[in-house]
C-alpha cells in the first residue's frame, strides 16, 4: 500500500528541467532539475567571450534562480572536467555552497581550480565511480561511463518519481578507447528497455554524418610521424586531452625520446593526471623543460599548450620567437594535434606560418589526420536514440543549427515531432509521466567576468569600449567662471586612439574654436545646466570631426567651474 501511495503522491508533482546555459551556444553548460524541494544541477561551466566583448575574460551563467532556491540545491553533478562544464564552479559555489559530485579526474581538476580561488576548504567534493547511484531524497543520480576527449567522462541518469531522465553529457562512442572502457551501452540498453522518459543529448556534431574516429587512430598517425622525425618533436594539443597526451608519450617512449611539458595548464593537468593514475609515463622519461638542451634533438619530445593559437600560450610564443627556453631549429617537427575552434582559425594559421618560416616542419589538420573529435556524429547519435527510445527528447550542447539538426535526426527515426523540444536558456520545462511542456521562464543569461569584477560590466561600458576601440577619444577640458560667464582656461583638447592627420594641429585648433563658440553661445543664452553645455560641445565637435574625417571618436567634455 505504501508503495502505491507513494506513487500516487509522486505522480502529482512534476519534474522541472531548467537549462541555464549551453543551449543556442557551445559553452557554459548548466542544467537544473527540480522536483518538489530538491534541485540537482548537472555541470556548471563557463564560456569564452567573442571579440565584441572587449576586455571580458570569461562568461559564467546567470544563476539567480538557483541562488533564490539555494536551500533546495542538493549538489552539483559534473559529467567531466572540461572548462565549459566546470569553469563556472568557483564563482557559483561562492553563492551556492552545495556538494560537488564527480569522478576522480574530474574532481582533481575542480580541486586545483578551487584552490586557485582560495575556496577549496569551504567546499565538499564527493568522489564517485561510473556506475554509482547517489540517492538524495526523491531523486537518484546515476553516473554512466562514456567516452570523450577527456578521461573519466560520464553520462547521468536521473531517476525521478515521474521517470528516468538521461543526460548524455559530452560523449562519443569509442570502441577502442585509450586507457579506459567503451561507453556503457549495456546500461543504456537496460535503461531504454525499462523506459526512459526524457533524453537530453550532446548535439555538437549533429551536422556531421557517420561516426567519429577512435582516439586510437590518432596514436597510429602520431607513431608514423615520430618514426620519420629526426629533430625534436613538438606536439601541441589540449592539456585536458589526457588520452592524447598518453599517446604522444607512448610514441615518444617507443622512439627513445624524453618528454618535457610546456605551458602552465599542460604542466598542471599532466601532474594531476599522473598523480591520480590517469597518465602513465615512467618518471625517468620526463625531463624539465630547462633541461632539453642536455639531450640531442632526436631524443626530445615537447608536449605543449597553444593548439588554438592563443596569444599567450607556449606554442604561440615559440612561433613568435619569444619563448624563454624553446627556439625553433631546422629539423624540428611541430604537430598541431587539435582542430581550430571556430573563431581561432586565423590565429592558428598565423602560428603555422611563423613556425614554418622559422624552419619547422609543421604537421596540422590540412596535411595529416592527427586529431579526432570528442563528440558523437550522426550515426552515434542514432545509436543512442535506438538504445534509449525516450518518450521525450531535448537536444542540448549546441548552437541552434546543431539543435535543430539533432531534432531532425530524432524525427527521422520515427519520434513524434511534438515530443521533441528545442529549448532556450531559462525555459522551465515541466515533465510529467505522459506530458511535457515549456511552462515558464526564469531569469537567465550571461554574467561577464572582467578582472576582479564579477558581472558588473554593463552594456554601456561595452559599447563605450567598442567606440573607443574603433575611433578613440577626444577629451575637451574647459574651466569656466560661471558668475562672470567667461572661459577662464581651455579648451584643452587631448586625444587618444584618434587618427592623427597630417594637419592635426590645424584640426585641434579648429576643434578648440568650435568649443569656444559653443560654450559662449550657451553662456550668452543663460544656459545654466552643465549637461546642456556638454551636450552642445559634444554635438558640435562630433559633427565637425565627422564632416572632416568621416570618424566618430568619443567626445568627452569635462567642465570645471571656479
**Which residues carry a binding-site annotation?**
55, 57, 80, 82, 84-85, 148, 170, 239-241, 371-375, 397, 450
Side-chain-side CA neighbours of 35 within 13 Å: the count stands at 25
Binding site for Ca(2+), by residue number, is 55, 57, 450
375 labelled catalytic: yes
Stretch that binds a copy of itself, among 259-267, 435-443, 454-462, 518-526 (CB under 8 A): 454-462
- For the chain, the distance separating the N- and C-terminal CA atoms, rounded to the nearest angstrom, is 86
* Contact pattern from residue 208 through residue 247 relative to a copy of itself, giving x for each residue in contact according to CB under 8 A and a dash for the rest: x---------------------------------------
Site for a copy of itself in 11-30 (CB under 8 A): 24
Least distance from a copy of itself to the Cβ atom of residue 500, Å: 5
Query: Binding a copy of itself by CB under 8 A: which of 131, 137, 321, 458?
Result: 458
Residue 346 binds a copy of itself, judged by CB under 8 A: yes
- Measured CA to CA, the distance from residue 272 to residue 242 in angstroms comes to 10
- Catalytic residue, candidates 208, 375, 402, 406: 375
**Nearest alpha carbon to residue 280 among 269, 270, 268, 265:** 270
Q: Which of 184, 132, 140 is nearest to 158 (CA)?
A: 140
Is residue 508 close enough to count as binding a copy of itself by CB under 8 A?
Answer: no
C-alpha distances in Å from residue 308, one per residue of 60, 81, 236:
21, 19, 9
Binding part of the chain for a copy of itself, among 114-122, 212-220, 494-502, 535-543 by CB under 8 A, reads: 494-502
Is 24 or 99 the residue whose CB approaches a copy of itself more closely?
Answer: 24
Contacts with a copy of itself, 511-540, as mask; x by CB under 8 A: ------------------------------
Q: What is the sign, positive or negative, of the torsion defined by CA atoms of 373, 214, 361, 315?
A: positive
Q: Tell me the C-alpha to C-alpha distance, in Å, between residue 215 and each of 172, 210, 263, 378.
A: 10, 16, 23, 18
Q: CB of residue 4 vs a copy of itself: minimum separation in angstroms? A: 45
Backbone angles phi, psi at 247, to 5 degrees: -70, -35
Nine-digit cell string for 15: 519534474
For residue 550, state whether it binds a copy of itself (rule: CB under 8 A): yes
Please identify, among the stretches 136-144, 360-368, 372-380, 431-439, the one whose residues bind a copy of itself according to the rule CB under 8 A.
360-368
Using the contact rule CB under 8 A, the part of the chain among 139-147, 211-219, 273-281, 457-465 near a copy of itself is 457-465
What residue numbers does the annotated binding site for Zn(2+) cover?
Answer: 80, 82, 84-85, 148, 170, 397
| Number of chain residues interacting with a copy of itself (CB under 8 A) | 69
The x, y and z cell numbers of residue 269, run together, are 593537468
Contact call for residue 466 and a copy of itself (CB under 8 A) = yes
Q: How far apart are CA 310 and CA 141, in angstroms?
A: 37
Strand (E) or helix (H) holding 5: helix 2-12
Span from 64-72, 96-104, 254-262, 471-479 in contact with a copy of itself (CB under 8 A): 471-479
CA distance 383 to 144: 16
Q: Does 331 bind a copy of itself (CB under 8 A)?
A: no
**Residues 372-401 within binding reach of a copy of itself (CB under 8 A):** 399-401
Judged by CB under 8 A, does residue 55 bind a copy of itself?
yes
Q: Is 483 near a copy of itself (CB under 8 A)?
A: no
Measured CA to CA, the distance from residue 473 to residue 467 in angstroms comes to 8
Compute the least distance from the CB of residue 424 to a copy of itself, in Å: 9
Q: Which is nearer to a copy of itself, 37 or 481 (CB)?
A: 481
Short-list 204, 221, 224, CA closest to 212: 204
Residue 202 designated active-site:
yes
Residue for cell digits 554601456?
Answer: 460
Q: What are phi and psi of 6, to 5 degrees?
A: -55, -50
Per annotation, catalytic residue among 62, 184, 202, 427: 202
Query: Please, which residue, 440 or 458, has the CB nearer to a copy of itself?
Result: 458
Among 118-126, 166-174, 449-457, 518-526, the segment contacting a copy of itself (CB under 8 A): 449-457
Grid coordinates belonging to 176: 577502442
Closest separation between CB of residue 345 and a copy of itself, Å? 4
Q: Is 153 helix (H, G, I), strand (E, B) or coil?
A: coil
Measure Cα distances from 25 to 222, 340, 444, 445 in Å.
32, 17, 14, 12
The yes or no reply on residue 67 touching a copy of itself (CB under 8 A) is no
HEC string of 515-553 equals: HHHHHHHHHHCCCCCHHHHHHHHHHHHHHHHHHHHCCCC
Nearest to 454 by CA among 53, 64, 91: 91
Q: Does the footprint of a copy of itself cover residue 359 (CB under 8 A)?
A: no
Residue 22 has which C-alpha cell? 549551453
CA distance 560 to 562: 7
For residues 399 and 21, the answer to whether their CB atoms sit within 8 Å is: no
Select 177 or 490, whichever has its Cβ closest to a copy of itself.
490
3 binds a copy of itself (CB under 8 A): no
Give, as ranges, the residues between 97 and 136 that touch a copy of itself (CB under 8 A): none
Cell numbers that stand for 533 in this block = 553645455
Select from 368, 464, 510, 542 the one that contacts a copy of itself (CB under 8 A): 464
Position 470 contacts a copy of itself (CB under 8 A): yes
**From CA 101, how far away is CA 98, in angstroms rounded?**
10
| Nine cell digits for residue 419 | 515530443
- Which residues are part of the catalytic machinery? 202, 375
Q: Where does this chain bind a copy of itself (CB under 8 A)?
A: 24, 50-51, 54-55, 207-208, 342-343, 345-346, 349-350, 352-354, 356-357, 362, 366-367, 399-401, 404, 450-453, 456-458, 461-462, 464-473, 475, 477, 479, 488-490, 492, 494, 496-502, 548-551, 554, 556, 558, 560-562
Amino acid at each position: 500500500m505504501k508503495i502505491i501511495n507513494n506513487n500516487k503522491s509522486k505522480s502529482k508533482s512534476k519534474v522541472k528541467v531548467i537549462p541555464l546555459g549551453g543551449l543556442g551556444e557551445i559553452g557554459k553548460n548548466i542544467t537544473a532539475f527540480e522536483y518538489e524541494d530538491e534541485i540537482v544541477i548537472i555541470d556548471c561551466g563557463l564560456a569564452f567571450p567573442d571579440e565584441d566583448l572587449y576586455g571580458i575574460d570569461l562568461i559564467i551563467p546567470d544563476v539567480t534562480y538557483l541562488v533564490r532556491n539555494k536551500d533546495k540545491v542538493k549538489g552539483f553533478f559534473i559529467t567531466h572536467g572540461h572548462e565549459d562544464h566546470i569553469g563556472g564552479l568557483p564563482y557559483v559555489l561562492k553563492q551556492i555552497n552545495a556538494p560537488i559530485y564527480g569522478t576522480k579526474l574530474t574532481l582533481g581538476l575542480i580541486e586545483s581550480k578551487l584552490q586557485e580561488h582560495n575556496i577549496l576548504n569551504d567546499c565538499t567534493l564527493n568522489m564517485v565511480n561510473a556506475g554509482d547511484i547517489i540517492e538524495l531524497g526523491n531523486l537518484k543520480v546515476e553516473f554512466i561511463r562514456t567516452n570523450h576527449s577527456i578521461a573519466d567522462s560520464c553520462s547521468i541518469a536521473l531517476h525521478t518519481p515521474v521517470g528516468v531522465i538521461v543526460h548524455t553529457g559530452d560523449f562519443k562512442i569509442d570502441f577502442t578507447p585509450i586507457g579506459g572502457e567503451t561507453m556503457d551501452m549495456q546500461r543504456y540498453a537496460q535503461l531504454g528497455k525499462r523506459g526512459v522518459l526524457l533524453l537530453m543529448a550532446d548535439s555538437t556534431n549533429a551536422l556531421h554524418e557517420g561516426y567519429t574516429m577512435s582516439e586510437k587512430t590518432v596514436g597510429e598517425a602520431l607513431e608514423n610521424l615520430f618514426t620519420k622525425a629526426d629533430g625534436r618533436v613538438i606536439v601541441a594539443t589540449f592539456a585536458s586531452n589526457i588520452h592524447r597526451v598518453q599517446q604522444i608519450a607512448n610514441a615518444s617512449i617507443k622512439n627513445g625520446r624524453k618528454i618535457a611539458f610546456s605551458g602552465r595548464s599542460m604542466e598542471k593537468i599532466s601532474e594531476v593526471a599522473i598523480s591520480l593514475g590517469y597518465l602513465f609515463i615512467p618518471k625517468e622519461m620526463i625531463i624539465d623543460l630547462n633541461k632539453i638542451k642536455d639531450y640531442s634533438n632526436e631524443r626530445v619530445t615537447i608536449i605543449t599548450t597553444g593548439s588554438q593559437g592563443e596569444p599567450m600560450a607556449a606554442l604561440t610564443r615559440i612561433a613568435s620567437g619569444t619563448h624563454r627556453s624553446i627556439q625553433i631549429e631546422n629539423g624540428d617537427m611541430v604537430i598541431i594535434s587539435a582542430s581550430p575552434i571556430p573563431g581561432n582559425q586565423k590565429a592558428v594559421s598565423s602560428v603555422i606560418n611563423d613556425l614554418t618560416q622559422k624552419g619547422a616542419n609543421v604537421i596540422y589538420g590540412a596535411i595529416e589526420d592527427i586529431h579526432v573529435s570528442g563528440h558523437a556524429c550522426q550515426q552515434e547519435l542514432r545509436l543512442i536514440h535506438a538504445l534509449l527510445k525516450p518518450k521525450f527528447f531535448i537536444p542540448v550542447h549546441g548552437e541552434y543549427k546543431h539543435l535543430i539538426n539533432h531534432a531532425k535526426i530524432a524525427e527521422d527515426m520515427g519520434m513524434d515531432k511534438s515530443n521533441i523540444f528545442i529549448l532556450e536558456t531559462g525555459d522551465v520545462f515541466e515533465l510529467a509521466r505522459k506530458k511535457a511542456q515549456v511552462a515558464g521562464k526564469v531569469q537567465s543569461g550571461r554574467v561577464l567576468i572582467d578582472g576582479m569584477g564579477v558581472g558588473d560590466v554593463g552594456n554601456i561600458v561595452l559599447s563605450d569600449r567598442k567606440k573607443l576601440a574603433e575611433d578613440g577619444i577626444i577629451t575637451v577640458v574647459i574651466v569656466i567662471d560661471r558668475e562672470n560667464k567667461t572661459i577662464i582656461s581651455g579648451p584643452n583638447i587631448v586625444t587618444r586612439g584618434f587618427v592623427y592627420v597630417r594637419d592635426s594641429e590645424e584640426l585641434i585648433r579648429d576643434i578648440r574654436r568650435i568649443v569656444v563658440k559653443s560654450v559662449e553661445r550657451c553662456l550668452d543664452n543663460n544656459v545654466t545646466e552643465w549637461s546642456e553645455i556638454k551636450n552642445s560641445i559634444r554635438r558640435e565637435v562630433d559633427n565637425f570631426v565627422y564632416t572632416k574625417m568621416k570618424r566618430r571618436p568619443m567626445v568627452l567634455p569635462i567642465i570645471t567651474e571656479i
